[in-house]
Chains A and B, each alone.
Chain A
Amino acid sequence: MLTPQNEAALAEAVAAASGPLRVAGGGTRPVGNPVTGEVLSVSGLTGVTLYEPGALTLVVAAGTPLADVEAALAKENQRLAFEPMDHRGLLGTEGEPTIGGVAAANVSGPRRIAVGACRDHLLGVRFVDGQGTVLKNGGRVMKNVTGYDLVKLLCGSYGTLGVLTEVSLKVLPKPDVTGVVLIEGLSNEDAVRALSMALGSPFEVTGAAHTPVGVDGDPVTMIRIEGFEASVAYRLERLQDLLRSFGTSATETDPEKTAAGWRWVRDVEAFHGAPGDVWRISVKPSDGPAVAQALQAEGLLYDWGGGLVWARVAEGTDVRAMSDGVRGHATLVRASEETRRKLGAFHPETAPLAAISKGLREKFDPRGIFNPGLMG
């Protein structure tokens, strides 16, 4: 395993590599097609380079543990608003998630529906390309259209275009209070209709999820709002009014309970330790229930107002074949190496997109040494 301690050493290691490299942050998110090669760990590159709370910006080395980043932000009452999920429970991995891993996999959580994904909060990157050249794109300011946006291209490229060495992020203030409207007993279709109504209201919903089987066994639909205390109280009441036609609702504002509830959604805790393959399906919200219905899943969780379907299915099930004809993409997040190899972890791209992606990989990594085949 290569564990360079700074960017220059990492660039040298890449330039000197004679074979494929498996790029790793904390190693907690082994998502993608199985890859062979020597591990190139970014965990030696750590530390906050710059943090300006008054400018809402943070620049940090890619190998910095996510926990350190979150602790530094918490001291200033700020946070990563895109709510990156922790994959350890779902994938049964150990180790420390890194901020670079979050960016490389564009990891977001329930708040993605309101504030955007990791890609929307990533202001700049430094990375090493396949030839060992250190490159930068973007910067540390909120608005930047200077040249092409390679920041987006790198975010979610799973280390196949370059190895991230430093990331700049937009951070946001933590709200004072979180409130949740809870409705029990809705069908999947009604739940998505209720979530859609809430998301289409002026009340700034920052979480919209539904589980057909809640902790008590009954379906639970959850709608989150955040802000100042009086504002949250007001909006909870208005939302309950708005959703009256869906039956009685309850509210919850206990900080620990609401945090635990949304962590449960974010990390898909319902599937932890349960058998089977896990798929993550992104579709138009109103398509969610029908897509889920077709899967004969053993477990389901709807996030993003119905647009993100987490499905736990029997090992080896080809979910894509069952949702054929629906626009969107299905990622095989958890499965045996054999199944991932057979079905492909990432949704197959259309021919023109595949050609562009292949062309870009050949330009950024001409020797094809970064996580070869991981994305297909």
Chain B
Amino acid sequence: MEMPVPNPAILARKDRLVQRLRGVLPADAVIDDAAETRAYECDALTAYRCPPLCAVLPASTEQVAAVLKICHEEGVPVVPRGSGTSLAGGALPTADSVILGVARLNEVLEVDYDNRLIRVQAGRTNLSVTGAVEEEDFFYAPDPSSQLACAIAGNIAMNSGGAHCLKYGVTTNNLLGVTLVTMEGEVVEFGGAHLDAGGLDLLGVICGSEGQLGVVTEATLRILRKPEGARPVLMGFNSPEVAGACVADIIKAGVLPVAMEYMDRLCIEVTDEFSGAGYPDCEALLIVEVEGSPAEIDEQLGVIMQIARRHDPVELREAKDADEAARIWLGRKSAFGAVGQINDYMCLDGTIPVSSLPHVLRRIGEMSQDYGLKVGNVFHAGDGNMHPLILFDANKPGDLELCERFGADILRLCVEVGGCLTGEHGVGIEKRDLMLDQYTPEDLQAQLHVKDVFDPAWLLNPAKVFPLSLSESRRAAA
């Protein structure tokens, strides 16, 4: 993956920059020692690494503003970082950039159950937002797999989803407002406790802008009352086509499960060993979960299981108790980790129309043969958000590149059938050079124009999202 050549003039100004940053931050909040900046050399896309010029850890909106103002004056690129769990390289630095980590911004500012919202500092982790309202039986709905570690700031940057967004939506549907600091250091409020913007929906475009429009320091989030209960049912099928047809039939029947998760044979076998879930021996597995009171759950699962029976499942198992439900989910939730224990892998994130599922799975199987690399498929079936896991050997020369080429072909296939490159992980550097497969240069210019308005100097996370050739003139002017 190509990254811009570091600007030697900026590298030469390092000492002055660090000195100025120390002037506005506590001593332990500016990290410029070569050994320590290594901690920030990559995110969860570990194949690419580069230590930044320095890293700063501000603890307030005012400190973020002071840092950005200095970096703007010095003409230094800034790469915002939540918890560093991006799978797309969203927080990958360049050697001439400052990493701005928001981890110290982790306070709950306000909990308002009457109005069903919480205001937090953006470095707070996703799961600890729910943790702050759990005593009243409320929760924050978006639940990315990394929710124990990932920060709300990163969730907003990538518009993160999760397993339960079929019913509850993704980050943008649960975000009411943000405090954002512009690259110039101006603090601006977008949205708030009320619904919908009076003017243009700027909050809507900030969410998912991958840290390129500003640094979000505070967020107002919608919280929901927990359902009375939830219960999954596990279904095994002898072919991906049948599982796909079953998903479509469930949706058409008017039941809206809170989650519908799919795993193929490779993932079933690996995760079963890992979790002891007792998954059946089959080609395709669905986990379908519904919510409500026990009677409501019985009724919905009755409808769902009746549909499933029409598709000749090899196994149809309703969780009898909380323990069995937990084990059914443990397998799915640990899928990435379990596969990681047996092999290096690259996780893709393309989304396809649900109707194309059988075709796409067949094509991925064929390509897997052609490339000679195994693929495991695990994904959110209800919304077509796929997560093919391509297995490769990081120690074998050329294998990573082969894997990347295979991955690119899968993502092009997703676009070809009417889908997109990324459903919830973001573009980052990983899918940057594929953007022209989904969009025309004019389509992308319209997006670049948005960055021109928010960050005219093109200093915020500048080498991400767009093909470098498209952003080159703007970055050069910076």
Q: Mark A291-330, 1 if CB is under 8 A from B, else 0.
A: 0000000000000100110000000000000000001111
Count of A residues near B, CB < 8 Å? 85
Which of B10-18, B32-40, B69-77, B442-450 lies at the interface with chain A? B442-450
- Say yes or no: is B416 at the interface (Cβ < 8 Å to chain A): no
How distant is the Cα of A285 from the Cα of B193 in the complex, in angstroms?
Answer: 9
CB-contacts of B293-307 with A (<8 A): 293, 295-296, 299-300
Cβ of B199 and Cβ of A304 under 8 Å apart?
no
Cβ of B254 and Cβ of A175 under 8 Å apart?
yes
Task: Specify the chain B residue showing the minimal Cβ separation from A172.
Answer: B256
- Say yes or no: is A266 at the interface (Cβ < 8 Å to chain B): no
Chain A residues with Cβ below 8 Å from B450 are 148, 150, 153, 360, 363
Chain A residues with Cβ below 8 Å from B159 are 145, 149
A191 to chain B, nearest CB (A): 13
B422 to chain A, nearest CB (A): 5
Cβ of B439 and Cβ of A155 under 8 Å apart?
no
Cβ of B194 and Cβ of A307 under 8 Å apart?
yes
Cβ of B351 and Cβ of A375 under 8 Å apart?
no
How distant is the Cα of A330 from the Cα of B424 in the complex, in angstroms?
Answer: 34
Cβ of B199 and Cβ of A347 under 8 Å apart?
yes
Q: Mark B263-295, 1 if CB is under 8 A from A, else 0.
A: 000000000000000000000000000001101
- Say yes or no: is B216 at the interface (Cβ < 8 Å to chain A): no
Knowing A143-B423, A308-B195, A328-B194 touch, does A135 contact B254 (C-beta < 8 A)? no
How distant is the Cα of A147 from the Cα of B449 in the complex, in angstroms?
Answer: 12
How distant is the Cα of A145 from the Cα of B166 in the complex, in angstroms?
Answer: 15
CB-contacts of A332-376 with B (<8 A): 346-347, 349-350, 352-354, 356-357, 359-360, 363-364, 375-376
Chain A residues with Cβ below 8 Å from B193 are 283-284, 327-328
How distant is the Cα of A145 from the Cα of B447 in the complex, in angstroms?
Answer: 13
CB-contacts of B445-467 with A (<8 A): 446-447, 449-454, 465-466
Cβ of A148 and Cβ of B295 under 8 Å apart?
no
Cβ of B421 and Cβ of A146 under 8 Å apart?
yes
Knowing A284-B115, A353-B188 touch, does A144 contact B351 (C-beta < 8 A)? yes
Q: Mark B191-206, 1 if CB is under 8 A from A, else 0.
A: 0111111111111110
- Say yes or no: is B7 at the interface (Cβ < 8 Å to chain A): no
- Say yes or no: is A44 at the interface (Cβ < 8 Å to chain B): no
- Say yes or no: is B207 at the interface (Cβ < 8 Å to chain A): yes
CB-contacts of A212-251 with B (<8 A): 227-228, 230-231, 234
- Say yes or no: is B429 at the interface (Cβ < 8 Å to chain A): no
Q: Mark B163-202, 1 if CB is under 8 A from A, else 0.
A: 0011001101100000000100010111011111111111
Cβ of B194 and Cβ of A137 under 8 Å apart?
no
Knowing A116-B169, A175-B254, A349-B198 touch, does A141 contact B422 (C-beta < 8 A)? no
Cβ of B254 and Cβ of A150 under 8 Å apart?
no
Which of B48-56, B224-232, B324-332, B390-398 lies at the interface with chain A? B224-232
How distant is the Cα of A284 from the Cα of B208 in the complex, in angstroms?
Answer: 25
- Say yes or no: is B113 at the interface (Cβ < 8 Å to chain A): yes
Contact of B161 among A143, A151, A283, A285 (CB under 8 A): A143
Cβ of A152 and Cβ of B201 under 8 Å apart?
yes
Chain B residues with Cβ below 8 Å from A139 are 418-420, 438
Cβ of B355 and Cβ of A55 under 8 Å apart?
yes
Knowing A146-B421, A350-B189, A357-B199 touch, does A137 contact B116 (C-beta < 8 A)? no
How distant is the Cα of A146 from the Cα of B228 in the complex, in angstroms?
Answer: 35
Cβ of B299 and Cβ of A231 under 8 Å apart?
yes
Chain B residues with Cβ below 8 Å from A196 are 114-116
- Say yes or no: is B259 at the interface (Cβ < 8 Å to chain A): no
- Say yes or no: is B81 at the interface (Cβ < 8 Å to chain A): no
Task: Specify the chain B residue showing the minimal Cβ separation from A138.
Answer: B420
Contact of A143 among B195, B205, B383 (CB under 8 A): B383
Cβ of B300 and Cβ of A328 under 8 Å apart?
no
Cβ of A112 and Cβ of B195 under 8 Å apart?
yes
Cβ of A234 and Cβ of B208 under 8 Å apart?
no
Cβ of A230 and Cβ of B295 under 8 Å apart?
yes
Count of B residues near A, CB < 8 Å? 95
Q: Mark A110-143, 1 if CB is under 8 A from B, else 0.
A: 0011001101100000000100011111011111
Cβ of A202 and Cβ of B228 under 8 Å apart?
yes
Cβ of A234 and Cβ of B116 under 8 Å apart?
no
- Say yes or no: is B426 at the interface (Cβ < 8 Å to chain A): yes
- Say yes or no: is A273 at the interface (Cβ < 8 Å to chain B): no
How distant is the Cα of A352 from the Cα of B187 in the complex, in angstroms?
Answer: 9
B63 to chain A, nearest CB (A): 19
Which of A137, A174, A200, A331 has the most chain B CB atoms closer than 10 A to its own CB?
A200
Cβ of A147 and Cβ of B195 under 8 Å apart?
no
Chain B residues with Cβ below 8 Å from A283 are 193-194
Chain A residues with Cβ below 8 Å from B205 are 148-150, 152-153
Cβ of A144 and Cβ of B423 under 8 Å apart?
yes
Chain A residues with Cβ below 8 Å from B186 are 352
Q: Mark B210-245, 1 if CB is under 8 A from A, else 0.
A: 000000000000000111100000000000000000
Knowing A135-B446, A136-B443, A149-B208 touch, does A230 contact B299 (C-beta < 8 A)? yes
Cβ of B199 and Cβ of A119 under 8 Å apart?
no
Cβ of B453 and Cβ of A356 under 8 Å apart?
yes
Cβ of A363 and Cβ of B199 under 8 Å apart?
no
Knowing A149-B207, A327-B193 touch, does A54 contact B248 (C-beta < 8 A)? yes
How distant is the Cα of A81 from the Cα of B373 in the complex, in angstroms?
Answer: 43
Q: Mark B85-121, 1 if CB is under 8 A from A, else 0.
A: 0000000000000000000000000001111100000
How distant is the Cα of A144 from the Cα of B159 in the complex, in angstroms?
Answer: 9
Chain A residues with Cβ below 8 Å from B466 are 147
- Say yes or no: is B352 at the interface (Cβ < 8 Å to chain A): yes
A-B contact pairs, 8 of them (CB 8 A): A52-B354, A119-B201, A142-B385, A145-B427, A150-B450, A202-B228, A356-B454, A363-B450
Known: A147-B444, A284-B112. 14 other contacts (CB 8 A): A55-B251, A120-B172, A142-B385, A145-B208, A145-B422, A147-B435, A148-B465, A196-B115, A234-B296, A283-B194, A284-B115, A285-B115, A359-B452, A359-B453
6 closest Cβ contacts across the A-B interface? A152-B204, A329-B198, A54-B248, A142-B383, A143-B423, A173-B254
Q: Which residues of B contact A (CB under 8 A)?
A: 112-116, 137-138, 158-159, 161, 165-166, 169-170, 172-173, 182, 186, 188-190, 192-205, 207-209, 225-228, 247-249, 251-256, 292-293, 295-296, 299-300, 351-355, 380, 382-385, 418-427, 431, 435, 438-440, 442-444, 446-447, 449-454, 465-466
